[in-house]
Amino acid sequence: MEVKQRELGGEKEEEEHSKVEIWKYMFGFVELASGRKVYAQTPLCKRLLKSGQNNMAAFILPESSPVMLAPWHGLSARIQGNIRNPVFEEVYGEDLWSFGAANPDHSKLFNEAMACDARVVVPAVIESCINSDLPHVVSVAQEYDRIENVGGDMFDYVPKADVVIIKWVLHDWEDDECIRILKKCREAIPEDKGKVIIIEAVIDEEDEKEDSKLTNVRLMLDMVMMAHTNTGKERTLKEWVYVLDDGP
Ligand SMILES: C[S@@+](CC[C@H](N)C(=O)[O-])C[C@H]1O[C@@H](n2cnc3c(N)ncnc32)[C@H](O)[C@@H]1O
C-alpha cells in the first residue's frame, strides 16, 4: 500500500493516505485460536458494530457527514489568513451550536456521537446527576431514572450541585470564555466542599513522541476544534493552568 501511495500524487495521494490511516487500525494480521495468522478485521472493528457493547459507531458518523466535512475545505485558507471568520461560520453563517438548534437532524447526529462516548465515561464516575445542556439538546435527551435534564445557557447559569463534571466543553471555547464558564461552575457548587471535575485532553508539548497513538488523537482533536468551533482548541498543561488560575 505504501508503494502505491508513493506513486500517486496530490489529492489522490491524500485520499489514499486517509484511507490507509483508517484501514491500518481496522484491518491487520490477526492470530486465530488455532494459531494461524490471517489478514482480517482487528478487534477494534467491534467498536463499530451498532450491536456491540460500548460501540463508537455513532462517534465517527458526524465527522464524516457532509455538514462537518465542508468546513475542513476552508481550513487552509483560514490558517493562511485568507478567510477572516472561523471556518464553520464562514460556510454556514453561524456557529456549530446555532446550526444544531436550527437543524434537528444534524443536532441528533452530533448528540448521538457525544452520547456514545458519555455512555462509556459517565457511568464510571456517577450514578445520578443533572444533565445540563442547551435547550434544543436537552429537549430531545433520553429520559433515565435518576437523571434530571435541565436546559440552559452555561454562560448564564449552571445548575446547583455538589460536583460539576464538565466534559469536552471547555475545549470548544477560548480562554476568556472558559474562565466565564468555570466561574458559573464555581457558583453552582458549595463553597466549602464542592468540586468541579474537568474531563479534557492535555497536550504535552515536552514529552509527546510523534509516533504515540494518543499524540495523534490529541492533535487530531485540536484540528477538529479549529474546523468546527469558533474559538476552541486543545490545551497544554501550561494553557490549562492559565485558564484555571483565572477561573474558579
Ligand atoms: C463537544 S459537546 C460535549 C457534550 C458532552 N459534555 C459530552 O462530553 O458528551 C459540547 C456540548 O456543549 C453544549 N453547549 C454549547 N454551547 C452551550 C451553552 N452556551 N450552554 C450550555 N451548553 C452548551 C453543546 O450543545 C454540546 O452538547
> In a mutational test of the pocket of ligand 1, which residue from 68, 99, 114 has the highest number of ligand atoms less than 8 Å from its CB?
114
pLDDT for the residue 122: 80
Minimum-distance ligand 1 atom for the alpha carbon of 154? 20
Class of residue 64 by CB neighbours under 10 A (exposed 0-12, middle 13-18, buried 19+): exposed
CA–CA distance, 161 with 100 (Å, rounded to integer): 27
For ligand 1, whether the C-beta of 122 sits within 6 Å is no
- Annotated active-site residue 234? The verdict is yes
| Domain co-membership, 66 together with 38 | no
Last residue of a domain, one of 12, 31, 48: 48
Contact 184, 198 (CB under 8 A): no
Q: Residue 91 domain-assigned?
A: yes
CA–CA distance, 162 with 146 (Å, rounded to integer): 15
Q: Residue 38 domain-assigned?
A: yes
**Which among 200, 206, 208, 210 is annotated as catalytic?**
200
Q: Sorting pLDDT into bands at 50, 70 and 90, what band is 7?
A: very low
Last residue of a domain, one of 94, 128, 162: 128
Pairing of strands 129-133, 37-41: unpaired
218 contact partners, CB below 8 Å, separation of at least 6 = 201, 202, 203, 208, 234
| Confidence check: pLDDT of 88 > 60 | yes
- Annotated active-site residue 210? The verdict is no
Q: Residue 204 domain-assigned?
A: yes
| Domain co-membership, 158 together with 218 | yes
- Annotated active-site residue 7? The verdict is no
- Tens digits of residue pLDDT in 74-87: 999 998 999 999 99
Average pLDDT, the chain: 86
pLDDT for the residue 123: 78
For ligand 1, whether the C-beta of 221 sits within 6 Å is no
As a dihedral over the C-alpha atoms of residue 54, residue 60, residue 62, residue 65, rounded to 10 degrees, the angle is -150
Determine the structural domain holding residue 6 and report its residue range. Answer: 1-48
| Confidence check: pLDDT of 184 > 90 | yes
Q: Residue 88 domain-assigned?
A: yes
Please tell me the total count of domains within the chain: 3
For ligand 1, whether the C-beta of 169 sits within 6 Å is yes
- Tens digits of residue pLDDT in 130-160: 999 999 999 999 888 889 999 999 999 999 9
Q: Residue 213 domain-assigned?
A: yes
| Domain co-membership, 110 together with 164 | no
Q: What is the CATH number of the domain that holds 206?
A: 3.40.50.150
For ligand 1, whether the C-beta of 153 sits within 6 Å is yes
Contact 7, 17 (CB under 8 A): no
